Amino acid sequence: MSAPESSPASILHHFAPLLDPRDHRARKHELTDVVVIALCAVLCDADSWYTIEEFGHAKKDFFARFLKLPNGIPSHDTFNRVFAALNPIAFQNCFTAWINSLADRLGFKHMSIDGKSSRGTADKAAGLGCLHFVSIWANEHGITFAQAKVDQKSNEITAIPPLLRLLDLEGCLVSSDAMGCQKEVAEVILDQKGDYLLAVKENQPTLYHDIVALVDKALCSDFAGMRYAELLEHDKGHGRQETRTYTVIYEPEGLSTIDQWAGLRAIVAVSRRRVVDGKESDELSYYISSSTAAIAVLAAGIRGHWGIENKVHWVLDVVFGEDRSRARAGNAGENLAWLRRTALSVLRQDKSGGTIKGKRKRAGWNEAYLEHLLSFLAA
């Protein structure tokens, strides 16, 4: 009898296209068994190959309901070898159908591009630095859409355009820090039918100094002849006060390189004044955008971009232990990082309340709740 769509077995179809990298003569465990056990274990608070194996043994009866398990639960060495050999692009593509179905249903409006380092993967003895990852994240719903490993942080620049080309960005505002402020990135976002919102710093010196000069001119002339908008925001809490002033100049004139930036329709200046424990600090930052949306929309995009730090990077390091992970052999580090991001995306779809850490523990204790989480992958 086939399993109902809400059963754990329904997630197996995601991995049907995945090619097994092992020699068939040495296979003691089904590839889908290895992958599904690992995903469930990461959902349930296991953060290493050792604890993934231990989780598998603890839940062997649960897995026996829908997996083949011809030789029982794989060892931690088997998990490591399989994920080291798996093609990370093919593995990531296994979740594409699920992510696309969510995109159609939820309607994403803002995506963030950002890089993250996994410091625990550094191997000083071997002269190897830590792994770096570039991710594209949907802010409203906490879903990681795509990820790529880069050898060095500076290589984020070349990793971003191929990731963006995988996505349908129609109707989305795509934000990035200054690393992503590149002409090709702007072009690809427009080609994928989205709008860009890119932070500008002195890594683009001509553009940066032109924007500073234009904003200064606008303030001195009281924006004479310019279409503009301003927005003031205040935040207060935990001994901190912050005032932000957003200024948008639409259809800016006087930027010497404007023809090199596809679709540039607006510049945004953000002035931040913070008072923390009685100490004041000021910061001024600049952005370019292809969008002529209302200032509240652009301000929300700037504010929301940094949510990836708190809602993804901090959670991955503190709750999932990513910064302590030593997995580096072959593709193991990249594939384990994708498992974490997929697990976090699934956990954020559950609206039953509680922290991410609490949900992971509950899933490990309560098989009915684990089945509930897996049902989000049945789409």
User: Is the dihedral angle over the CA atoms 6, 353, 38, 107 positive or is it negative?
Assistant: positive
Same domain, 202 and 285: yes
CA distances in angstroms from 239 to 6, 275, 281, 306, listed in the order given: 46, 8, 14, 20
Question: Does residue 371 belong to any structural domain of this protein?
Answer: yes
Q: How confident is the model at residue 158 (pLDDT cuts 50, 70, 90)?
A: confident
Dig out the tokens for 84 from the structure: 């080291």
Higher pLDDT, 54 or 153: 54
Number of independent structural domains in the chain: 2
* 287: CB partners within 8 A, 6+ apart: 197, 198, 199, 200, 267, 268, 269, 270, 298, 302
- The position carrying tokens 């191997």 is 123
Answer whether residue 330 shows pLDDT above 90: no
Between 44 and 137, the higher pLDDT residue: 44
Is residue 89, in this structure, part of any structural domain at all?
Answer: yes
Assigned domain for 114 exists: no
Domain assignment present for residue 315? The answer is no
Environment class of residue 379 by beta-carbon count within 10 Å: exposed (0-12), middle (13-18) or buried (19+)? middle
Task: Write out pLDDT tens, residues 276-323.
Answer: 877 888 999 999 999 999 999 999 999 888 766 777 767 878 888 777
Position 208 scores a pLDDT of: 97
Q: Domain containing 278: what range? A: 198-289
Q: What is the model's pLDDT at position 128?
A: 52
Asked if 204 and 284 sit in the same domain, the reply is: yes
Whole-model pTM: value is: 0.78
Q: List helix spans (H) across 44-94.
A: 49-58, 60-64, 76-85, 88-93
Same domain, 266 and 346: no
Q: Which residues have a Cβ under 8 Å from the Cβ of 121 and sit 6 or more positions away?
A: 128, 130, 131, 325, 326, 327, 328, 333
Torsion of CA 164, 167, 173, 179, to 10 degrees: -20
